[in-house]
Amino acid sequence: MSKPVDSAVSAVRAYVQHHREAFLDDLAEWLRIPSVSAQPDHAGDVRRSADWLAARLKETGFPVAEIWDTPGAPAVFAEWPSDDAAAPTVLVYGHHDVQPAAREDGWDTDPFEPVIRGNRLHARGAADDKGQVFFHTLGVRAHLAATGRTAPAVHLKLLIEGEEESGSPHFRALVEEHAARLAADAVIVSDTGMWSETTPTVCTGMRGLTDCEIQLNGPDQDIHSGSFGGAVPNPATAAARLVAALHDEHARVAIPGFYDGIQELTPRERELFAELPFDEEQWLRTAKSHATHGEAGHTTLERIWARPTAEVNGIGGGYQGPGGKTIIPSSAMLKLSFRLVAGQDPGHIEKAVRTWVAQQLPAGIRHEITFGGATRPCLTPLDHPALQSLVRAMGRAFEQKILFTREGGSGPAADLQDVLAAPVLFLGISVPSDGWHAPNEKVELDLLLKGVETSAYLWADLAENWRHAG
Amino acid sequence: MSKPVDSAVSAVRAYVQHHREAFLDDLAEWLRIPSVSAQPDHAGDVRRSADWLAARLKETGFPVAEIWDTPGAPAVFAEWPSDDAAAPTVLVYGHHDVQPAAREDGWDTDPFEPVIRGNRLHARGAADDKGQVFFHTLGVRAHLAATGRTAPAVHLKLLIEGEEESGSPHFRALVEEHAARLAADAVIVSDTGMWSETTPTVCTGMRGLTDCEIQLNGPDQDIHSGSFGGAVPNPATAAARLVAALHDEHARVAIPGFYDGIQELTPRERELFAELPFDEEQWLRTAKSHATHGEAGHTTLERIWARPTAEVNGIGGGYQGPGGKTIIPSSAMLKLSFRLVAGQDPGHIEKAVRTWVAQQLPAGIRHEITFGGATRPCLTPLDHPALQSLVRAMGRAFEQKILFTREGGSGPAADLQDVLAAPVLFLGISVPSDGWHAPNEKVELDLLLKGVETSAYLWADLAENWRHAG
């Protein structure tokens, strides 16, 4: 690294060291607020958490820090314009609500009384997501201190929602309502993780999702399998045959048009996945599964990150109680969900599924399909200048090569991507052992401070290397 | 018909006419006893029904009429030896318990207060099965009167069980315990029906049955379909693929060995089925179904009577509540039942199913199969002399050609066939409109008296045309 970079690193690190204790004290104060969005009796705490954060962001220096109400829990919006009008605008996304937690779930200490043991801070929300939101506050101060600026090098916006742990029911509407104020050149999502403590990574995408329920009706009531068995169509059989026909012998989804427009993995992307120290035995233990199974020609990581899926989440029909019942059931039901990857459109998938289902069913089986919500896939192009800045910033903080991952799941980040028409990047420092949603959730203090550092380097690098298009 | 037959018919009919009113009064008295075996508070009534029947059989002339206790409801056994030691022995099977019934289920009158409207006797049990048991009492008296005998022309035994409507849980053990006293050359089951009021028929077989539950386990708990979807086997998919693989593209059961030893329909049997006035549209209404579907190369009647089946009676796995849940379920469950026809052995089928299931499942899916009870198929050979006697006896009573049917269902008759190593014949005069298990159950008085007549002719014909082998 060249000399100027080194001095920037030293300056950032000195600042972070100096403010470490105050930063952790502040975070602990926030973690003491049990902002559990799923529990109505904590509604006041979720609001208190939003108020606390808005006040703290003002103290940090954000000239604008507002509470944005929704029909559910409030979000916090903050804005700190750059003094360089031509700088790009970056929107940081996170959430201030947390999963439920109680001592009796298996916590060693009160989940809402943060405690540092060794080099770990334990509390509900330590990693998911208060810790990862909060490192941006010290990050931007370190950025200013190290660069001698009075305003960030980029136009900085924050949107910290209060209902993520409840499925973000009002998030899309909130983003649409405030689209003008949220407008950004890039979105930085700080609500994900890295490969491991020793392998820092950047996530470059999440899968999309669409799901449906299929109701299949055969006889008008359950009928006797002795009197009628073998001579009329059985809706449970029809349901099963639909599921069986979902995949071909290569475990590829067999719905015509399902792969239309899909962005195939490039050789470079496959190489990058293969660089990760993946241990399939260990992964299987995490998956609590007893074998891998999936699309031929792809590794497990490719299957969960970069390939679309069709999964049965639920199936039911006929008699499910103890013993037997000799009936042909009147009806059966399927719940299917489809994970989507870049290039796939949920609307197109819905149409393809509807057409396919109608063609599969035998005469005498009537059906009804209801689609639930749809979330688009996100994918940050590897050559996007903002991603390159992010990788450089992390590389400085971690002093290691940064590898690339993706997320198999789907999240509200896609709403930001869609409404704001901006690429989404993921800056997360959490690791799998942090125990999201589990007892004794923790954040690694060393990684938390690397997050602070990354945030500090990122804004300067972005401003220097990625000029606003407009 | 020859002159002597005509005079026998006249004598039987005169006797039946003379005793018609007393017979119906007696039957009504029995029908007033609510012998509902499925309802514990009617246990005393079931016993009262057994006592009533045993006493009535003694009055009829049976020298032996006993109550046979079981761990559940009591059965009635009666015996009237022939004075011709070389005559064959015939065991009549029926049941004296009835289905539950309450006025508010939709009955026009009290289900346990028999009423004659037009030419129909309405009461719970009128057709299923008290009426059909009871016609044998007047039948044997008419037989004696018309032939001038003091004992029947055959050794006559009756076994009238008290738990048929509760699934005959103790019947097999009862038959095994009393096998020596029940020993017979043929079993006459009077607990079935005919094609219709205008098409008298003899049933020549019932299908067998074996059923199982298959538990499939994948991940040790429900896992996230985003994090793991597409890369591990889904037990609900495995369950569905098993069901889909049950049948080939001709709707034949695809389990290797399933059709081993099967007794195929002869051209003559297919012709006999085809003689029946079958109306598929009407049958579909009865089946409350919207299309026929079944094994290629067979008619609907062949499919339900003479072909084996594999049906899903229940399927379940994953999330079945409202909305969606993005999981790969930990487990799934299937309930399968197999109807079997002559030549198939339930034990062989169980082995074939177990082998097949184990071969079908992908790595990572563990399974457990539990088989329930097994009932063998029954089939009366068309050329059996006892069947020919039965057809002649019915032909005299109905003065019509007697056609042949089968039953798609399975029943305790198979236990008699197995334990006693005797062929089973079906003498039933009920018709589909009688409303078994339904409100306003009835029996057609004309058909009931044809049952009496058939019973009267049958014993003489059997003794004359079928000598005991020993």
Cis peptide before B129 (omega within 30 of 0): yes
A360 — contact with chain B (CB < 8 Å)?
no
The residue of chain B nearest to residue A292, with distances taken between CA atoms, is: B232
pLDDT at A401 over 60: yes
Q: Please, where are the H alpha helices in B316-412?
A: 346-360, 385-398
Inter-chain CB proximity B228 and A291 less than 8 Å: no
Chain B contacts of A412, Cβ < 8 Å? none
Q: Cβ distance B311 to A328 under 8 Å? A: yes
Chain A contacts of B223, Cβ < 8 Å? 287-289
For position B373, what pLDDT does the model report?
A: 83
pLDDT at A5 over 70: no
Least Cα separation, residue B200 to chain A (angstroms):
19
For position B252, what pLDDT does the model report?
A: 98
Chain B contacts of A319, Cβ < 8 Å? 313-314, 335
For position B412, what pLDDT does the model report?
A: 85
Cα B93 off chain centre by: 11
Pairing of strands A309-318, B424-426: unpaired
Give the number of residues written for chain B: 470
For position A107, what pLDDT does the model report?
A: 96
Neighbours of A88 (CB within 10 A): 25
What confidence category does residue B468 fall into, taking pLDDT thresholds of 50, 70 and 90?
Answer: low
Pull the structure tokens for residue A221: 């009531």
Least Cα separation, residue B304 to chain A (angstroms):
6
Inter-chain CB proximity A313 and B290 less than 8 Å: no
Inter-chain CB proximity B247 and A227 less than 8 Å: no
B360 — contact with chain A (CB < 8 Å)?
no
Of residues A405, A403, A407, A406, the one with CA closest to residue A395: A403
Phi, psi of B260 (to 5 degrees): -55, 130
Per-residue pLDDT, averaged over A98-116, amounts to: 95
Least Cα separation, residue A47 to chain B (angstroms):
28
A215 — contact with chain B (CB < 8 Å)?
no
Inter-chain CB proximity A226 and B408 less than 8 Å: yes
For position B172, what pLDDT does the model report?
A: 94
pLDDT tens column, B186-212: 999 999 999 999 999 999 999 999 999
Find the largest Cα–Cα distance for chain B. Answer: 87
A293 — contact with chain B (CB < 8 Å)?
yes
B449 — contact with chain A (CB < 8 Å)?
no
DSSP β-bridge partners for residue B196: none
Inter-chain CB proximity B320 and A316 less than 8 Å: yes
Inter-chain CB proximity A211 and B324 less than 8 Å: yes
B407 — contact with chain A (CB < 8 Å)?
yes
What confidence category does residue A373 fall into, taking pLDDT thresholds of 50, 70 and 90?
Answer: confident
d(CA A225, CA B375): 14
Domains annotated for chain A, with CATH where assigned, are: 3-206+378-465 (3.40.630.10), 208-262+308-375 (3.30.70.360)
B37 — contact with chain A (CB < 8 Å)?
no
Of residues A94, A186, A206, the one with CA closest to residue A387: A186
d(CA B454, CA B229): 66
Mean pLDDT score across all residues of chain A: 95
| Ranges assigned E (strand) in B193-345 | 201-206, 208-217, 223-224, 309-318, 327-328, 331-340
The residue of chain A nearest to residue B289, with distances taken between CA atoms, is: A219
Element (H, E) at B443: strand B442-444
Which among A228, A311, A316 is the nearest to B315, CB-wise? A316
Chain B contacts of A312, Cβ < 8 Å? 234, 236-237, 240, 317-318, 329
pLDDT tens column, A252-283: 999 999 999 999 999 999 999 999 999 999 99
Chain B contacts of A329, Cβ < 8 Å? 312-314
Burial of A279 from C-beta contacts in 10 A (0-12 / 13-18 / 19+):
exposed
A245 — contact with chain B (CB < 8 Å)?
yes
Q: Which residues 296-355 of A have a C-beta within 8 angstroms of B?
A: 300, 303-304, 307-309, 311-320, 323-329, 332-333, 335, 337, 339
For position B1, what pLDDT does the model report?
A: 41
Least Cα separation, residue A396 to chain B (angstroms):
29
Chain A contacts of B410, Cβ < 8 Å? 226
The radius of gyration of chain B's CA atoms, rounded to the nearest angstrom, is: 25
Sorted by sequence, the CB contacts under 8 Å of residue B143 that are 6+ apart come out as: B12, B149, B152, B153, B455, B456, B457, B459, B460
Least Cα separation, residue A122 to chain B (angstroms):
24
Which among A313, A329, A366 is the nearest to B324, CB-wise? A313
Per-residue pLDDT, averaged over B103-108, amounts to: 94
Of residues A338, A335, A370, the one with CA closest to residue A258: A338
Least Cα separation, residue B421 to chain A (angstroms):
24
- Residue A264 gets which letter from DSSP? P
pLDDT at B2 over 80: no
More confidently predicted of A237 and A6: A237
Provide the number of CB pairs (under 8 Å) joining chain A to chain B. Answer: 290
Neighbours of B260 (CB within 10 A): 12
Sorted by sequence, the CB contacts under 8 Å of residue A450 that are 6+ apart come out as: A200, A394, A397, A398, A429
Using DSSP's 3-state secondary structure scheme, residue B432 falls into helix
What confidence category does residue A1 fall into, taking pLDDT thresholds of 50, 70 and 90?
Answer: very low
pLDDT tens column, B38-63: 999 999 999 999 999 999 999 999 99
pLDDT tens column, A133-171: 999 999 999 999 999 999 999 999 999 999 999 889 999
A169 — contact with chain B (CB < 8 Å)?
no
The residue of chain B nearest to residue A220, with distances taken between CA atoms, is: B288
For position B324, what pLDDT does the model report?
A: 87
Inter-chain CB proximity B223 and A315 less than 8 Å: no
pLDDT at A408 over 90: yes
d(CA B221, CA B227): 14
Chain A contacts of B240, Cβ < 8 Å? 239-244, 312, 315
- Residue B98 gets which letter from DSSP? B
- Which amino acid, A22? A
Chain B contacts of A259, Cβ < 8 Å? none
The residue of chain A nearest to residue B229, with distances taken between CA atoms, is: A304
pLDDT at A53 over 60: yes
B293 — contact with chain A (CB < 8 Å)?
yes
Per-residue pLDDT, averaged over B206-234, amounts to: 95
The residue of chain B nearest to residue A302, with distances taken between CA atoms, is: B231
What confidence category does residue A468 fall into, taking pLDDT thresholds of 50, 70 and 90?
Answer: low
pLDDT tens column, B332-376: 999 999 999 999 999 999 999 999 999 999 999 999 999 998 899
B285 — contact with chain A (CB < 8 Å)?
no
